[in-house]
Amino acid sequence: MLATLREIFQENWEWRRQILNLAVIDLHKTVRGAVLGWAWLFIKPLTYIAVFWFALDLGLRAGDSTGGDYPYILWLSAGLIPWFFMQSMLGTGANVYRRYPFLVNRIHFPLSAISNFYALAEFIIFLCLMAGLLVLCLIAGVHLTIYALQLPLIWVLMYFFWVCFSVMVSPLSALSKDFSNLLKALSTPLFWISGIIYNVANMNIPLIHQIMAFNPITFFCTAQRAALCDHFWIWDNPGIFVPFLLVFVLTAVAALRNYHKLRKDVADVI
């Protein structure tokens, strides 16, 4: 297993320039032929944020339940923006080999690097949205605290976790379309149960808190809000940090195992 890990690191390092180029090319393909060009990468997520803010804050008055002295749209955006990245990794990121079959069959691009460059393309969009959110905070007079310094760590953890997730499930999705369809079907339920648009801490059921602690989507949304809104160090809350680390380790181990055992079968199936 350590040999597989070393091989993955070596592959991604040797192909690092191609990974970056392919990530940029993938973004170009997304906006090619559109009049508004690169703006389309941000129009959809910004529209979703505006609609949820209108429905939840103005319509349902959900902003009154957060209990903070920050704008509700900041709290909402801190959960929705990472969700856009995670949703992409749950969907296309979990089936990248079928999205880029030419890299698997013709060029023999390292399979782990395919997951990496797709994640990088989506992560660039995520970083741009977060940069815009931080600038708007400063313009609106919402002062960032020292707790915002943990954001880079949270982003690094999020990036590598979802790359590991993609490496873990992409071979299974390539070998079985049923597995790929299952992951797509789970995307919507995960959105509604993971505390993206509501505060999980407000649920007065201890068992649910214990279960949700092992949900990485909940962790990343909570971590972002800890840095921007709730103002605490995420590692000072072992009830959510330790379960996430356990899930991270198990995901990484499963990713190495699947990559080692199944990568030779992927090219034969696609």
| 57 closest CA partner among 44, 76, 70 | 76
Give 126's pLDDT tier (boundaries 50, 70, 90). very high
Q: What is the pLDDT of residues 152-184, one digit of tens each?
A: 999 999 999 999 999 999 988 888 888 888 888
Give CA torsion, residues 243, 241, 246, 167, to 10 deg: 110
Q: What is the pLDDT of residues 209-227, one digit of tens each?
A: 888 889 999 999 999 999 9
Give 80's pLDDT tier (boundaries 50, 70, 90). very high
Contact by Cβ (8 Å): 85, 125: yes
Q: What is the mean pLDDT of residues 190-211?
A: 84
Distance, CA of 29 to CA of 89 (rounded, Å): 18
Is the pLDDT higher at 156 or at 68? 156
58 pLDDT above the threshold of 80: no
Q: What is the pTM of this model?
A: 0.90
